[in-house]
Structure 1
Amino acid sequence: MTEAERIDQLFEAWNNLDSPGCAVAVLRDGSVVYKRGFGMANLAHGIAIGPSTVFHSASVSKQFTAFAILLLAAEGKLSLDDDAQKYVPDLPDFGAPITLRHLLHHTSGLRDHWELLSLAGWRYSKDLITDDDILAVVSRQQDLNFQPGDEHLYCNTGYALLAQVVKTVSGQSLRAFTSARIFEPLGMRNTFFRDNYAEVVRNVADGYVETQSGIEISNTNFDTVGATSLLTTVEDLALWDENFYHPRVGGPDVIAQMLERGRLNDGSEIGYASGLGIGTYRGLTIVEHTGGDAGFRSDIIRFPEQHFSVAILANFGSIVPSDLVRRIADIYLADVLQPAPKPGPSTFPQPAADALELLTGYYAEPRLAGRVARLATRDGKLLGGYDIDYDGYALEAVDHRRFRFSDFPNSEIELEQQEGEPASELTSYFDGKRRHQYRRLPAYTPSPTELAALAGSYRPVENDMPYQVRVGEAGLVFKSVKSPEIKLTAVAPDHFLGDCDRFTFTRDENGRVTGLLMNSGRIRNVRFERL
């Protein structure tokens, strides 16, 4: 079977007239050695996907925004160490400068604008979202997730702000600047930043998701660029990819800067450069970025030492391009890839069910509104997860105190426990490095009186969207007029989990409930006041 036939097999599930799908391009030594479309770009009109089909590429957009910034830096028109507020005056003063370099590397500490917009009432991919909307919610922020440079946390806000920097410095929109300086010189004729969601675009794919009712359209309603909104094809991405080997735009210095990893304040290096992730796969260096918005998924992965890349643009939310690009690499690079790690089941004797029960419960970081870990058992197995109120993922013992997640063997936990007693502490590890420490929480079930004391109206101090906390049949419920209902599970007095978010009610010195703190994936300690 040829390499092309093996790739065809990988995508057979989407190769029909009733399914959305994707376009694929395989690039080797400067040539496109495989390109094909699978499935339908438009189900209603029966239009098939081809290599020239235009897709919304989601966060694959970020590398082009970063490249624009580095072009301007190379021309001396800005410095990566400039304070972003110099170019975006609406950015609040948080007491410490946020530099362009922080924005590029996701180390700014800014909260993610998608979650901020959701809190303020926007419904992602359903309501129109503009650059002005993003600037409006960002300008009202009073706190950061962390001090600039202290941590790395993926943040779309930074790239939306970088688009504004390009506009301020160049006098052109990001769309106009990148078209003139990047896409046209490289011959990327079907690539541009879409800054008008209502614009008619020829040969563009619709996005789709699968629901309980069947396959439904799921497009973006974005008039915002920088973090997202690049329209492109796999054929055009091949031209962009080759620019990293033979720079026709930017030159070697800009290319080198694109691949320079960020550093934190403590000097440690992160795995993110300028709109690109740097890592390894089966022993080989990779440069990669994925993307996902509404029903669109994307990935372009580069093996620079092998001059080999794969680009996938998909219009079906269930497709996982990051898995597929690696399976294609497995086909073409089999002779140089190291054997795939396949950790087998642990050979350590697994604890008995009664011993596992002594480990179950909630554990929390010893700080206000800290992370929460949960351990539970089912069918004699230990299950665990973080900031969840459901069973979680399977764990297996690797020694007397340590367990690893069966599906994520790089992630482990270690428990402190006196013989015959419930565990008292939990420490998480990733790749052998200590991450977070948790203390066991006493079992807690709030009384109806305690729940009633927390019910009422709350409002984020940084926007005007009121939320209601009410007592439902199974406990507290958190909801606004435009958000889905979130059921809250109590883990300790005033501390709740819901939909993978943490809710911590706050009180004054007299014990009166004054508000709450909400922590989600990319926003921390968002303050609500009680009305």
Structure 2
Amino acid sequence: MRSWPALACLLGSASFAAPHALAAQSPLALGKPLAGTVTGKDTARFTLRADSNTVVRLRVDQRPGNVGLRLLGPRNTVVRAMNGSAKGPEELLVITNEAGAYQLQVVAADTTGGAFAVTLLTNERLSTDPKRQVDQLLALWDRRDGPGAAVAVWRGGRTVFAKAYGMANLAYEIPFTVTTPTNIGSTSKQFTAFAVMLLVEEGKLSLDDDVRKHLPELKDFGQVVTVRNLLTHTTGYRELYNSLTLTGRRLDESDYVGREEYIPLVNRQPALQNAPGTEFNYNNTAFGLAAMIVARVSGMPFEAFMAQRVFGPIGLTHTQVRADVRVPVKGATVGYSRSDKDVWRDLGDLGGSMGAGGIYTTLGDLQKWAEHLANPTVGTKASVAQMMTPFTLTDGKSTGYGLGLFVDTQNEQKRVHHGGADVSHRSMLALYPDLNAGITVQSNDGAFDSSIAFRLAEAFFPELAPKPVVARAPFDASKYEAKKFDEFAGQYALDAAPAFVLTFSRAGDTLYTQATGQGKLRLTPTSDTSFAVQGVQASVEFSRDAAKKVNGATLVQNGARQRASRREGPVAATWAPSATELAAISGRFFSEELETFWDIALVNGTLVAKQRRATDVPLRVTAKDTFTGGAVTLTLERDRVGQVIGFYANVARSRDIRFARVR
């Protein structure tokens, strides 16, 4: 299941060092590939001209090679950057904000690089017709040799638009249609929450029940974890899939995961990651346990309860829970991910996802579901209202998440939504209650970005269109005095996820931000208090208190705004361990909790984390005694004389998993 959308991709795109080698700029012409090679710190440059509000789509074939891309706009700031796969083709799509000359830079990724060919596929004005916009933005999936996508838009009880693109099944050449059932991943969570609310209405359980009342075999951590904590991601439990990746479980290669693993995973935790109700931590474990509670309380298998008590009565005739990933779903899409050899692979669905995901449904059924939430005939309006009310943490801060649903705004209109991602399926359901409208997108391509639903909603619903910008003199970033940034320098923890910290710093005239477990990215000033993040479509705005002291920042990304509070105290100085210090860290480490070994080895001057079933992960220093590689952060544990005796591993939503040195 995909994590919280506003965080899942936050600063997660590849970051690139400043170019060290200049190459001639080659103009790109539609449909004509240009070849090149980059190695080391080379940068190959290609140019194109585009008007404002133009759809630009580029394809880079790595043949073979591992390259990263970044597109610079007319002001020489990064519009988009990516490095999605180590081999094969990559496509980059942007909608331009201003007219002028754009530059595509191709750089060697991880210093390996290699040969590539780049092609400009599209350079056309974004249509003012919403239906034509869908065709433009989903052109990549309008094909017969790859997976597809589908979109439905509705308002006031009427379907405004519904269309499918591409293929549902490549082996049998079956097209994706508007009636094709597909895996909606974590978009399923709202259905699980609704099932719980039906039992609450019947008096069979309470949201404030201790989960151990219904699952007594769960470990007692000395703090009450409630059913409400499960549905609001505030339990303190480890996250199932993140934890299993540390054991070498290859979820991207269809490794088995069973529902029987949920409770043992929780019971092996030495302690909760956080006190219940104090922190939002998006968590599939919690919703898997919620489905177990529905089954225990109702006396019915979860999939049967959903069919008989939810899907059937509401009229969702093409919706079902896939309880066993080995049992086929009739007429459904097959999920595909592109391999490093440029072939489509069927990797199946995540095992054990029932409750957290695992629902197959159609565009039409999701529209029925959304309209039912507005005027329920099964369940009550009061229950739906609870689902759409953001949870408040014990410190009084809102999480922006209700019961199985995110709740926020899009251009000042209330938005209720949830995205989903299984191994190779993607989905998004977005509702606009005040407009009596909604949109859903689905895809069986693992590379599909389902947040495109928000962009399409703006096209169909005029009320969502961005407000006109008041004309003013353009901000000249070249005249910004870098030393002014010093008042913003420091660390800011996201209010809804305090473990996720943004660090802001300055080196000479260059401004940086760095997210927890990720590399530094440059900032470009867009005003005296706002900055664009180079490499991703995100920006940061700083705020002051009544005394004019900088007290927070707001991250703006994918139409959502995430508040972060400033941490007091100085930022720790950069740590540069010597070769001798790195060698002293090397060794073999074992986690009793996960029952798995990791080896830390010094390879050509770099520490590398190794696990027998996982890909080697080079580690880089991010703070004193802290290393990051991929999605994993390791914090060293030392004894009284400074010897490394273990480390604590953090991987996204599972934290502080101890590994002890065994040699």
Q: Using structure 1 for the length normalisation, give the TM-score.
A: 0.88
CA contact (8 A) 2:510 2:522 kept: no
Residue correspondence of structure 1 range 124-523 to structure 2 within 5 A? 124-125=251-252, 126-217=254-345, 218-323=347-452, 325-335=453-463, 337-339=465-467, 346-347=475-476, 350=479, 373=503, 381-388=510-517, 390-396=519-525, 398-399=527-528, 405=533, 407-412=537-542, 429-430=553-554, 434-437=565-568, 439-523=570-654
Report the equivalent of 1:17.
144
Question: How big is the shift at 1:392?
Answer: 2.1
CA contact (8 A) 2:543 2:553 kept: yes
CA contact (8 A) 1:497 1:503 kept: yes
CA contact (8 A) 1:457 1:467 kept: yes
Give the counterpart letter for 2:261 in structure 1. D
CA contact (8 A) 2:411 2:464 kept: no
> 1:36 aligned to 163, 168, 171, which one?
163
> 1:54 aligned to 181, 205, 229, which one?
181
Give the counterpart letter for 1:191 in structure 2. T
CA contact (8 A) 2:459 2:465 kept: no
Question: How big is the shift at 1:276?
Answer: 0.7
Identical aligned pairs, as a percentage?
31
Distance of 2:621 and 2:433 partners within structure 1: 49
Q: 1:358/1:331 Cα in 2 relative to 1: closer, same or farther (>3 Å)? A: closer
Distance of 1:59 and 1:3 partners within structure 2: 27
Which SS does the other structure have where 1:466 is aligned?
strand
CA contact (8 A) 1:377 1:391 kept: no
Which SS does the other structure have where 2:369 is aligned?
helix
Question: How big is the shift at 1:438?
Answer: 6.5
CA contact (8 A) 1:489 1:497 kept: yes
CA contact (8 A) 1:372 1:387 kept: yes
Q: 1:363/1:410 Cα in 2 relative to 1: closer, same or farther (>3 Å)? A: closer
* Structure 1 unpaired stretches of 5+: 415-425
Distance of 2:425 and 2:504 partners within structure 1: 32
Distance of 1:32 and 1:488 partners within structure 2: 51
Cα offsets for 1:269-294 (capped at 9, x unmatched) = 32111111111111211110011121
Q: 1:94/1:356 Cα in 2 relative to 1: closer, same or farther (>3 Å)? A: same
CA contact (8 A) 2:530 2:540 kept: no
Which SS does the other structure have where 1:457 is aligned?
strand
The alignment yields a C-alpha RMSD, in angstroms, of: 3.1
1:86 aligns with 2:213: yes
Which SS does the other structure have where 2:451 is aligned?
helix
Question: How big is the shift at 1:10?
Answer: 3.0
Question: How big is the shift at 1:505?
Answer: 1.1
Q: 1:433/1:57 Cα in 2 relative to 1: closer, same or farther (>3 Å)? A: closer
Cα offsets for 1:434-491 (capped at 9, x unmatched) = 2445634434332232122211111123121111111111321112111221111234
Q: 1:178/1:256 Cα in 2 relative to 1: closer, same or farther (>3 Å)? A: same
> 2:236 aligned to 109, 126, 133, which one?
109
Which SS does the other structure have where 1:213 is aligned?
coil
CA contact (8 A) 1:98 1:148 kept: yes
Give the counterpart letter for 1:332 in structure 2. F
Which SS does the other structure have where 1:141 is aligned?
coil
CA contact (8 A) 1:40 1:46 kept: yes
CA contact (8 A) 1:208 1:215 kept: no
1:77 aligns with 2:204: yes
Question: How big is the shift at 1:409?
Answer: 2.5
Question: How big is the shift at 1:73?
Answer: 0.4
Give the counterpart letter for 1:154 in structure 2. Y
Give the counterpart letter for 2:553 in structure 1. Y
CA contact (8 A) 1:356 1:382 kept: no
Give the counterpart letter for 1:479 in structure 2. K
Cα offsets for 1:146-199 (capped at 9, x unmatched) = 111112121111101101111111111211101100101122122111111111
Which SS does the other structure have where 1:150 is aligned?
coil
Cα offsets for 1:41-69 (capped at 9, x unmatched) = 11232111001111111000100000000
Distance of 2:638 and 2:360 partners within structure 1: 48
Q: 1:344/1:522 Cα in 2 relative to 1: closer, same or farther (>3 Å)? A: farther
Give the counterpart letter for 2:289 in structure 1. L
CA contact (8 A) 2:189 2:287 kept: yes
Cα offsets for 1:307-364 (capped at 9, x unmatched) = 11111111112221222x22322222115645177999744655578x69999x9989
Which SS does the other structure have where 1:222 is aligned?
coil
Give the counterpart letter for 1:121 in structure 2. G
Question: How big is the shift at 1:370?
Answer: 9.5
CA contact (8 A) 1:27 1:34 kept: yes
Distance of 1:454 and 1:524 partners within structure 2: 20
Give the counterpart letter for 2:290 in structure 1. L
Q: 1:320/1:405 Cα in 2 relative to 1: closer, same or farther (>3 Å)? A: same
Q: 1:306/1:464 Cα in 2 relative to 1: closer, same or farther (>3 Å)? A: same
Report the equivalent of 1:418.
none
Give the counterpart letter for 2:167 in structure 1. M
Report the equivalent of 2:97.
none
Q: 1:443/1:31 Cα in 2 relative to 1: closer, same or farther (>3 Å)? A: closer
Q: 1:345/1:122 Cα in 2 relative to 1: closer, same or farther (>3 Å)? A: farther
Question: How big is the shift at 1:299?
Answer: 0.4
Q: 1:211/1:73 Cα in 2 relative to 1: closer, same or farther (>3 Å)? A: same
Distance of 1:383 and 1:330 partners within structure 2: 32
* Structure 2 unpaired stretches of 5+: 1-127, 494-498, 545-549, 556-562
Q: 1:216/1:444 Cα in 2 relative to 1: closer, same or farther (>3 Å)? A: same
Distance of 1:97 and 1:141 partners within structure 2: 15
Q: 1:455/1:321 Cα in 2 relative to 1: closer, same or farther (>3 Å)? A: same
- The answer to which of 105-114 and 86-95 deviates more is 86-95
Which SS does the other structure have where 1:257 is aligned?
helix
Give the counterpart letter for 2:467 in structure 1. P
Report the equivalent of 1:422.
none
Distance of 1:488 and 1:144 partners within structure 2: 27
Distance of 1:221 and 1:434 partners within structure 2: 36
Which SS does the other structure have where 2:292 is aligned?
helix
CA contact (8 A) 1:507 1:513 kept: yes
